[in-house]
């Protein structure tokens, strides 16, 4: 689960559309990116539950911490040389900003990645991704508290819808055949997993809010590579090389982590950035809502983990709330629009 912030200002200085944009290509690129992120969620669930085979034997489960560490470190080791050879200016930053990049990478990328995959391990892909997808709600609440955005009817409705949708999605609300038809059910989910999913949403929201000023100074690849550097350095302290060596990972596990890092980070980011050349931020985030749809469908098809009709309702409600909170109010004064670009 790694994601970036796209900022659209009234003068169109950032995330402005290319004059030769092709919207159809933009939708196709972003849909392909969300497919990769959805597939990575299913892959994470599969490795956590020991349902991936290599050489005729099932791979031993990989800890969420190790997977989050591999995702950041491998992506950095691949991306940094590419930028060094093809886009060296992207590696130039001011020394005074290094601490900000490290805070962004540790709390934003490392935090959101770990909590997201931990939630997938403890609950299900559907629960983890839907709860994590309320990150725009946390961003909105922060913006309202700082009076950087206005509490419009659409935005307040979006927050309420998101809360209701989450209750449906995690199975806390049950359907009955008699009045009042809906009732609070017994706790049937992992409380630790749900809390982890919300921690992923909060840290992801932090990443989006805190990255705003850096993205006004640097290009996206600069923000990504230095936040990955910070996350990789942080994981080296938390889980140093000798602890990794003590795990005695098999060649199959190492290959899985390599493929996972490429398919969950590098390929989808390239596709998403290509899509942003053809779509504005609002249309991009609406298209990005395909991510949980792909994740749930692929998990059902590959792993057989199905969701109930009530959970489907919750998922749809959460996605609708995500879209609502990002619809600009034409009657309100002009203000920056924050759009979440999928990480995971």
* Tens-place pLDDT, residues 197-255: 999 989 988 887 887 778 888 888 898 999 999 999 999 999 999 999 999 999 999 99
Instruction: Break the chain down into helix, strand, coil percent, rounded to 5.
Output: 65, 5, 25
Structure tokens that stand for 119 in this block: 């939630």
Asked if residues 310 and 174 have their Cβ atoms less than 8 Å apart, the reply is yes
Q: How confident is the model at residue 337 (pLDDT cuts 50, 70, 90)?
A: very low
Tens-digit pLDDT profile for residues 118-160:
999 998 888 888 888 788 778 778 878 877 777 777 778 877 7
Length of the chain: 344
What is the spatial distance between Cα 209 and Cα 216, in angstroms, rounded to a whole number? 12
Q: Lowest mean pLDDT of 38-47, 48-57, 154-163, 196-205, name the range.
A: 154-163
The set of residues, in sequence order, having a beta carbon less than 8 Å from that of 129 and lying 6+ positions away, is: 41, 116, 120, 291, 292, 295, 296, 344
Q: What rounded mean pLDDT belongs to the chain?
A: 81
Indicate the pTM of the whole model: 0.81
DSSP conformation class of 148: S
Tell me the CA distances in angstroms from 199 to 138, 192, 242, 307, one per residue in order: 11, 10, 29, 23
Express as a percent the part of the chain with pLDDT over 90: 39
Measured CA angle at 233 (ends 260, 72), to 5 deg: 15
């Amino acid at each position: 689960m790694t994601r970036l912030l796209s900022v659209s200002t009234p003068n169109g200085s950032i995330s402005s559309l290319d004059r030769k944009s092709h919207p159809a290509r933009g939708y196709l690129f972003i849909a392909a990116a969300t497919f990769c992120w959805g597939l990575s969620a299913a892959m994470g669930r599969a490795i956590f539950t020991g349902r991936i085979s290599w050489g005729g034997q099932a791979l031993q489960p990989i800890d969420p911490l190790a997977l989050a560490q591999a995702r950041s470190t491998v992506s950095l080791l691949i991306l940094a040389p590419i930028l060094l050879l093809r886009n060296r200016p992207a590696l130039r930053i001011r020394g005074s900003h290094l601490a900000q990049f490290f805070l962004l990478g540790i709390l934003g990328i490392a935090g959101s990645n770990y909590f997201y995959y931990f939630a997938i391990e403890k609950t299900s892909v559907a629960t983890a991704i839907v709860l994590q997808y309320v990150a725009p709600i946390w961003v909105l609440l922060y913006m309202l508290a700082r009076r950087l955005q206005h509490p419009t009817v659409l935005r307040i409705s979006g927050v309420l819808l998101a809360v209701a949708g989450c209750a449906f999605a995690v199975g806390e609300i049950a359907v009955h055949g008699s009045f009042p038809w809906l009732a609070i059910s017994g706790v049937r989910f992992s409380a630790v997993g749900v809390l982890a999913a919300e921690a992923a949403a909060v840290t992801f929201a932090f990443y989006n809010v805190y990255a705003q000023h850096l993205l006004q100074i640097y290009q996206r690849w600069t923000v990504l590579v230095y936040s990955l550097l910070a996350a990789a350095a942080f994981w080296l302290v938390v889980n140093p090389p000798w602890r990794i060596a003590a795990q005695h990972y098999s060649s199959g596990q190492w290959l899985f982590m390599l493929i996972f890092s490429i398919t969950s980070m590098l390929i989808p980011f390239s596709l998403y950035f290509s899509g942003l050349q053809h779509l504005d931020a609002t249309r991009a985030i609406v298209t990005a809502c395909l991510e949980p749809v792909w994740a749930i469908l692929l998990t059902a098809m590959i792993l057989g983990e199905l969701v109930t009709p009530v959970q489907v309702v919750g998922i749809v409600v959460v996605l609708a709330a995500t879209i609502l909170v990002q619809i600009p109010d034409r009657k309100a004064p002009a203000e920056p629009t924050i759009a979440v670009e999928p990480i995971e």
